[in-house]
């Protein structure tokens, strides 16, 4: 049926459409609903732009996802690790570690003096250490140590030629008791049998000790053999490099208790100041005006050590890592410590408080030693003669807390009780807090 015919249908018809009269404006018919829907689908919708907070949230979410993915990859245990038993045999099958584990085990300072030898120790742990389950005796620091509960580090400061050890300190981290004990050992300590130098001085062992051993191993073997204290790790540096390290960390704030005139134009004035590297070297090496010579210098070093420890404790982990990188690049330190051990020991030292870090002088006195046979015109050598029983007591009390007490040690005490001229250093100790406060320090005279 045509539209015209449709328009003529009865007005009551449901399909009828109104046909306007001639000349009138035509009325538009409605589009079918399905055409409207089709047309609407072609309309482009405008997207709402994210505001600042939403952008930040998106960036954080993406960064967090990337970080988690990276951490998952870094912690996947895919790298085979070659390990050796106490007899030098390769342990099979190899343990697999992650990239993060590998980084934590990195020994950045190992190239200078190398690794220490593995050995068995005959010292007997205390009954508490033997009878307490390892899970209960665990000191909580998760270190590879010879004896759970303690961790000993030998510090050696050599001269410019790296031939003699002018600074010798044994640092014992008593992890279970939250304490650190530092034994200052005079460089002239008498240790016959461990060096070919006829004076028998400890500072010559590094160069003139057992020729079949590496230099630092010679010193470790000497002190372990005499003191019967196991040494876990070591740190070596040249005394001239101490100044360079001080400059890297931005100086050491200190309150000098007296003036030091190192040379005519090299002076450190009394009072509060920040020592630069050159001044720090003057302080740790100065000895000529002390009536006690090298012992006076060691007491001055206590003041510097306390100030340096406080400076280190104030350094954050990220900042410390940047300093380590600079020290590694310039080869200023030798050590078999790992990155993980350095981090853990630094955190431990900074958490226990200065009052829990104590320096002890090795008991003994100055003595003129006459070697049986002299290859030079020198007939007497000034050495530090250890006082045997006081040394045993100090070591048992502070440096071997989880081993049974030693009753006797192979100490060459040529004087013996009743013949000592001075016992002033048999009970000599000072904590860092007291040293920093100005008490228990040396007045330089």
Q: For residue 25, what pLDDT is reported? A: 53
Most confident among 41-55, 224-238, 371-385 (mean pLDDT): 224-238
What distance separates the 2 farthest-apart alpha carbons in the chain?
A: 148
C-alpha separations of 284 from 138, 275, 288, 339 in Å: 37, 12, 12, 27
Residue 175 binned pLDDT confidence (cut-offs 50, 70, 90): very high
Residue 38 binned pLDDT confidence (cut-offs 50, 70, 90): low
Inter-axis angle of helices 277-285 and 294-313, nearest 10: 140
Q: For residue 133, what pLDDT is reported? A: 86
Look at 57-71, 159-173, 196-210 and tell me which has the smallest mean pLDDT: 57-71
Cβ(197)–Cβ(218) under 8 Å?
Answer: no
Q: Which position has the higher pLDDT, 61 or 398? A: 398
Q: Which position has the higher pLDDT, 16 or 124? A: 124
Residue 39 binned pLDDT confidence (cut-offs 50, 70, 90): low
Q: Which position has the higher pLDDT, 290 or 195? A: 195
- ∠329-332-333 over CA atoms, to 5°? 110
Rounded to an integer, the average pLDDT of 396-421 is: 93
Residue 139 binned pLDDT confidence (cut-offs 50, 70, 90): confident
The CATH code of domain 121-436 reads 3.40.630.190
Q: Is the pLDDT of residue 149 over 80?
A: yes
Alpha-carbon distance 216 to 202, whole Å? 12
> What is the DSSP-derived secondary structure letter of residue 354?
G
The domain limits of the chain are 53-97, 121-436
CA 263 to chain centre: 34
Q: Is the pLDDT of residue 30 over 70?
A: no
The 10 Å Cβ neighbour count of residue 146 is 15
Cβ(424)–Cβ(408) under 8 Å?
Answer: no
What tokens does 204 get? 């010559």
Calculate the average pLDDT of the chain. 82
Q: Is the pLDDT of residue 442 over 50?
A: no
Alpha-carbon distance 166 to 47, whole Å? 75
> What is the DSSP-derived secondary structure letter of residue 160?
T
The predicted model scores a pTM of: 0.77
Q: For residue 76, what pLDDT is reported? A: 67
C-alpha separations of 67 from 61, 62, 77, 319, 320 in Å: 10, 9, 18, 22, 23
Q: Provide the percentage of residues in the chain whose pLDDT is more than 70.
A: 79
What tokens does 275 get? 């020592």
Alpha-carbon distance 210 to 200, whole Å? 13
Instruction: Please state the φ and ψ torsions of residue 238, each to the nearest 5 degrees.
Output: -80, 145
Q: For residue 124, what pLDDT is reported? A: 93
Most confident among 10-14, 24-28, 146-150 (mean pLDDT): 146-150
- Three-state DSSP at 205 gives helix
Residue with tokens 């404790």: 313
Q: For residue 406, what pLDDT is reported? A: 96
Q: Is the pLDDT of residue 8 over 80?
A: no
Q: Is the pLDDT of residue 293 over 60?
A: no
Instruction: Please state the φ and ψ torsions of residue 375, each to the nearest 5 degrees.
Output: -90, -5
Cβ(400)–Cβ(229) under 8 Å?
Answer: yes
Q: Which position has the higher pLDDT, 87 or 124? A: 124
- Three-state DSSP at 125 gives strand
């Amino acid at each position: 049926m045509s539209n015209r015919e449709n328009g003529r249908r009865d007005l009551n018809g449901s399909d009828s459409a109104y046909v306007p009269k001639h000349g009138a404006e035509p009325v538009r018919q409605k589009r079918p609903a399905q055409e409207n829907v089709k047309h609407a689908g072609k309309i482009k919708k405008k997207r709402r732009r994210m505001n600042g907070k939403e952008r930040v949230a998106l960036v954080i979410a993406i960064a967090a996802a990337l970080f988690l993915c990276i951490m998952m990859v870094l912690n996947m245990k895919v790298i085979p690790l070659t390990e050796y038993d106490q007899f030098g045999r390769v342990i099979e099958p190899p343990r697999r570690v992650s990239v993060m584990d590998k980084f934590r085990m990195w020994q950045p300072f190992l190239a200078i003096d190398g690794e220490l030898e593995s050995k068995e120790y005959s010292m007997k742990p205390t009954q508490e250490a033997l009878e307490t389950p390892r899970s209960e005796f665990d000191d909580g620091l998760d270190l590879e140590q010879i004896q759970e509960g303690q961790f000993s580090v030998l510090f050696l400061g050599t001269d410019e030629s790296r031939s003699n050890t002018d600074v010798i300190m044994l640092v014992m981290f008593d992890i279970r008791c939250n304490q650190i004990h530092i034994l200052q050992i005079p460089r002239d300590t008498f240790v016959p049998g461990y060096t070919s130098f006829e004076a028998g001085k400890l500072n010559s062992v590094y160069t003139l000790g057992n020729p079949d051993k590496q230099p630092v191993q010679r010193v470790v073997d000497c002190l372990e053999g005499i003191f019967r204290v196991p040494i876990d790790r070591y740190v070596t540096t040249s005394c001239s490099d101490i100044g360079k390290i001080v400059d890297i960390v931005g100086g050491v704030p200190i309150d000098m208790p007296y003036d030091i005139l190192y040379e005519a134009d090299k002076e450190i004035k009394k009072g509060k100041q920040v020592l630069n590297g050159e001044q720090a070297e003057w302080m740790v090496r100065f000895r000529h005006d002390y009536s006690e010579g090298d012992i006076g210098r060691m007491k001055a070093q206590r003041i510097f050590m306390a100030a340096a420890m406080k400076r280190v404790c104030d350094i954050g982990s990220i900042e410390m890592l940047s300093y380590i990188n600079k020290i590694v690049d310039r080869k200023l330190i030798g050590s078999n410590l790992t990155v993980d051990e350095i981090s853990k020991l630094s955190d431990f030292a900074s958490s226990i408080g200065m009052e829990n870090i104590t320096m002890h002088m090795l008991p003994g006195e100055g003595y003129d030693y006459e070697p049986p046979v002299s290859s030079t015109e020198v007939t007497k050598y000034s050495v530090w003669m250890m006082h045997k029983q006081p040394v045993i007591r100090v070591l048992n009390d502070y440096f071997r807390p989880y081993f049974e007490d030693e009753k006797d040690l192979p100490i060459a005490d040529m004087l013996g009780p009743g013949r000592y001229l001075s016992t002033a250093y048999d009970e000599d100790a000072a904590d860092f807090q007291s040293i920093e406060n100005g008490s228990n320090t040396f007045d330089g005279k």
